[in-house]
Chains A and B, each alone.
Chain A
Amino acid sequence: MEQETSKQMLDRLLAAHYSEAEAAKREGKLVAWATSISPQELLETMGITTVYPENHAAAIGARKNAEGFLARSEANGYSVDICSYARVNLGYMELLSSPAGNIPLPDLIFCCSNICNTVIKWYENIAKELGVPMILFDMPFNHTYEVEEGSVRYMKAQILSAIRRLEEITGARFDEDRFREVMRVSTETARWWKQASLVAAAKPSPMNGFELFNYMAAIVCMRGKADGTEIFRRWAAELEEKKARGAGPWKDAEEKYRILWDGIACWPYLSDTYKVLKKYGINMVTSTYPDSWTILYEAGDLDGMARAYSSNYVNRNLDFGVNNIAGLVETFSLDGVIFHSNRSCKFMDFRQLETARQVEARTGVPTVLFDGDQTDPRAFSLAQYETRIQTLAETMAARKGVGA
C-alpha cells in the first residue's frame, strides 16, 4: 500500500481530532479548550482531550460560516470591535453546530497570554458562562529584547501551579516520565514544522505558502503527539523532494516574487487573497507565524520550557519584531512584505506601521498594508486588497528592473 501523503494524513488526523473529542465528551471524559500556543504538554501528559477554539473559529471562517456565530455573540452584547475568533467562539458556545465540524463544550479551560491579553478576557467569559475552571498562564510582555529571568521564574511557577491544579481537577497523579516524553515529542514536532517551513527558502520555493495556513491546524492541535511529528516529517520530505526537482509552488505559473505575510490569514477570503497573489506571480514563502510554534527546549528542562513559551514573537518588543522580519527577508530572499492590519488583533496591529517603516529602511524591500479581519467577512474589501497588492507588485517589479 502506498504511503499516505502528509496532506492526506493531515486531513485524516484533523477529522479524527474533532470526532475523538466528541466521543471523549460522550464517554464522560474531561475536555479542555486551550489557546493555540499554550503549554499543551501538561494536558497531553494528563491524557486530557484538548481542542483549540482559535483553530475551530478559523475553520468556521474558512468555510464562510462565521456570520451566524458573529451575529449570535453580537446579539448577546459583544461589540463588533473585539476579536472575531472570540465572537465566533462565544457564539458557537451557544449554537453548538457548525458545518466546519463541532467541538464539545469544555470541562476546563487553559489559557496562555503569550499571544495576547484578549484571550484572558475571552476565556474568563467562557469560564464564567459555563462554570468551568480556568487555568491561566500569564506571560508578561517582554519590553526588553530578551525574556527576563524574572518572567521565566514567574512562568515556571505558573506551570508548577497548573500541574497541581490539574491533579486536583482530575484526581490523577501527574506522571513525570510521561511529561518528559511529551516534552520530547512536542519539541520534535516543532523542529519538523520549522524544518518544513524552511524548505520554502529555496528559489523557487517548492511550497505555496498558503499551505502553511492549512498545516497550521496540525501544529496547533497535534504538537504533543507522535502523529503530529510524522505529518511534518513527511511534509518536509515531500518539499525536499520537490526542491530537488527544482519544482516551484505552482504547476501552471511561475514564482515571480516572494513575499512574507505578517499576521493571521483572512480565513473567509483565503482563496480570494491567494488568487490575487498568484495572479501577479507572488508567492507567500513565509510568514511571521511559523516560529510561533517553534517552541524548542530540552525535555525535562522546565526553565527552558517556560522561556520558550514566553518567547513568542508577538510577545516581544519592537526591535525583536523588526529584526525577526528583516532576518526572514534575508533567509527567504524576499521581494516584499504584506502586513495584514487585522481588525481583530490590536496587539499585532499597533506595531505594524513602525515595523513596516523600519523593515523597509533596513532591508530596502517594499511593504504594503491592507485592512482585513481574520474571520469577520465584513471587515475586508477585495478591491482594496487587490489595489494594494498590485501596487506592491509594481514596486517589486521596478526594484527588479522587470515589467510587472
Chain B
Amino acid sequence: MTRQLLHHLLVETAERSPEATAVAFRGETMTYGTLDAWSDRLAHLLVDVGVRRGDRVGIYREKSSGSVAAIYAILKAGAAYVPLDPHAPPARLAYIARNCGLRWLITAEEKLPLCRQMVEKQAPLEAVILPDVVPARRSDPAETLPPGVRLLAADAVAAQPASPPAVRGIELDLAYILYTSGSTGEPKGVMISHLNSLAFVRWAHQAIQVRADDVLSNHAPWHFDLSIFDVFAAVLAGATLAPVPAEMSVFPVQLAEFIAQTGITVWYSVPSVLNLLLLRGNLKPGAFPRLRTVLFAGEVFPTPHLRRLMGLLPHARFYNLYGPTETNVCTWYEVPPLPADRVAAIPIGRAIDNVEVFAMTEEGRVAAPGEVGELYVRGSTVALGYWGDSERTARGFVSHPSAPFHERVYRTGDLVRQDEQGDYLFLGRRDNQVKSRGYRIELGDVEAAIYAHPEVAECAVAALPDAVVGNRLKAFVVTRGTRPLSPSELVQFCSNLIPRYMVPEEVEFRDRLPKTSTGKIDRTELVR
C-alpha cells in the first residue's frame, strides 16, 4: 500500500527511528516508537467504540504528548479530528459538537464538568475517553457525566493491540476541521483533507529544511492552524516537537528560558508572542544560540519591533508566512535585514511551490502589479469548504474567474497589491474581519453576542489598531434603558458565549450610534 495520508508520516518515522524523541514536554519525553504504538492502541479503541471512516472525533485538552498521540490516533481510525479550544465557553463548544456531530471526545479529567455542560447543551456525545487516567485513581466517574455517556480510561487503551487498525483511506478524506469565527455569531468549520494538509506540510518541510536534529516549538493551540506545521512537519522530519506549556505565554522571561533550555531550533507563533518576548523577555543580544529559524504568521508584525528582534537574534532567519485557514499557507516571505528608517509593513511575499495566487480588481480583471485587488488562491492546499454550510462554501470557494473550465479557487477577502519586486503586500480586508493576537475575528460574531443581552438595543464593535496585539476590540452600545447595565456585566455576559480573545476590552455606552445616509451604522464616524 502506498503511504499518502498524514498519519503515515508517523508510521514511517517510527519505522526509521523508533528511539528518536518525538515529543518533549514538561521534562518528559516520548519516542517515536511509543507515540506510534500508543496512537495505534487508541485508534483501535476508537474503532471499538464505533468510530468509522469519515466520522469526527473531538480533542478537548491542553497540549501534551498524549494530545499528539490523540491526533494521530483519530487519523489512524480513519476519522477527522476536531480540536476544541480548551478555554472556550461550553455553549460555543456545544454548538461545534452539534454542528459536526461530535459523538466522541478525547479529553482530560479536569474537563469532565465542562463535558457535562456540553451534553446539557445538546452536544451528542456518546463516549468520552481519558487516555491518561488510571481508573483506580479516579474518584467517582459516575458523578461527572450524564447517564448514557460512556467513560473510558487508560486501561481501555492499554488493552488494545499496538498495530494499525485496518482502515482504508484516500488523500481526499477529511483529516480535520478547524473552527474559526463566523460573521453571523456562529463559528464555521474549515474542512481540511489529508491532501490539503500534506501539500502544505511537505512544502514547509522542504522550504524550511526541517531535519531530524531540529527541535520545533509548538506554541499555537491545536484549534489554531499554526499547529499543523508543528505537529506534522516535525514528525515528517523525525524532529522533536516541544509544546510550550500554557503558562509560559503569560511570563515572557520564563518563555525565554524555555526556548533556551529546550534548545528550540525552529520557532513558529503569531507575532504578538514574539512582541511580548521582545518587550518583557529580558532578551540579551545573541540569546538562543540554537535558534536558526523564526516563522510567524496570523497578523502583521510591526516593522520596528521585528527589526529589534532580528537585531537581537542575528543568527536566525525570519519568515513571514501568510494564508487563511482555508488555504493552510499560500505565500511566504523571507525577511531581509531591515533598514533603520523603514516603517512600512513587510510583504506577505510570493506563492509557495505548487500554489498559485492572483489578485482580482473590483471590475473583475486580474490586477496588474501596483493595482489593488482581492487575493485568490489556487492549489492543493485549498480546503474542501465549510462543514455543513454549502451556501458559505459557495461564496468563498468559487469558480476560477478566468479558467476555460470549472476549477475551484478560494477568494480570501484580503486586499493586496504587488510591489515592484513581485511580492504581495497585505492592505486590509474587504469585510468586517479583523485580527487580534493572530486570531481571526468577525466583528459580526462579537456583535451577535452583545445583541444576545436583553438590555441591548443597538451595538457596533470597532477594532482599534494596537502595535502589540494587532487590534483591540471596543464595543459601542445603546441600551434599552429599562435598567442600569455596566460594562463589566455586558463583558462577562459575552464571555459566556464567545472565546476570551473575541470579548471587547472596552465598552462605551452611547445614546445613539452614528448612521450613514443609507441608514447603516457609520463605522468610520464611530471611532473618530
Q: Do A and B form a real pair?
A: no
Interface residues of B (CB under 8 A from A): none
